[in-house]
Copies of this chain bind each other. A is one copy, B any other.
Amino acid sequence: METARLETFSDGVFAIAMTLLVLDLKVPPAGPDAPPLWPALLRQWPAYLAFVTSFATVAIMWINHHLNFTLIRRTDHTLLVLNGLLLLGVTFLPFPTAIAAAYAGHGERTAVAVYTGTFVFIAVTWNVLWRYASGRSGLLAPDADPRLVVSITRAYNAGLAAYLAAFAAGFIRPLAGLAICGLLAVYFALPTQYHRWFGRAA
């Protein structure tokens, strides 16, 4: 089967998951006796941090999905199911983001573990999806550069290791777990060697 509809559908899920994250930002209660708005908004800083981190991570995952499917030319039932598992992690993300937003300011270990653990789940499904697609002949484009394929595999291994580190760090210092996820988003947004490759290839 062609990948066109898988891409449209995944685009929709990524777009909606990113957009629903904003619902986790709560408007402080208004009214004639309401306290000043500015400090009430500032107090919600962990919610903004979690929002921006989750948004950036989903945006970067979308970029990667996009890049991968310039190499993957065909799908089969297994790839559709693996892609569904990946999207399960993505659509779940607003929930741990809301938990982190509500609890991370109190230094809650569980909140950060749920948040970083979701990223670990997503990183695992990325690895499985990519290994399946790149390992089985017939799904990758015949002219896919083998060094690029290896380079992506390596990047996904590194990503999984980094999210496992964030997960572990969160048990020692909760905000450190969150901060690693935020830094990873910034790091992945920078043009890396494997992204430059696509720039050249395109």
Contact = CB atoms under 8 A, between A and B. Distances in A.
A120 interface: no
A23 B102 CA distance: 15
B12 A88 contact: no
A110 B41 contact: yes
A30 B91 contact: no
B19 A199 contact: no
Nearest to A40: B110
A16 interface: yes
Determine the main DSSP class of A at the interface with B. Answer: helix
B14 A16 contact: no
Contacts of A108: 37
Interface in A165-202: 189, 191, 195-196, 198-199, 202
A22 interface: yes
A94 interface: yes
Contact of A103 (B16, B21, B30, B199): B30
A68 B182 CA distance: 31
A75 B201 CA distance: 12
Contact of A106 (B1, B30, B60, B195): B30
A8 interface: yes
A22 B94 contact: yes
A100 to B, nearest CB: 10
Interface of A: 1, 5-9, 11-23, 25, 27, 30, 32, 34, 36-38, 41, 51-52, 55-56, 59-60, 62-63, 66-67, 69-70, 74-78, 80-81, 84, 87-88, 91-95, 98-99, 102-103, 106, 108, 110-111, 114, 189, 191, 195-196, 198-199, 202
List the 7 closest A-B pairs by CB distance, nearest first: A12-B15, A30-B102, A59-B84, A16-B19, A37-B110, A77-B195, A1-B202
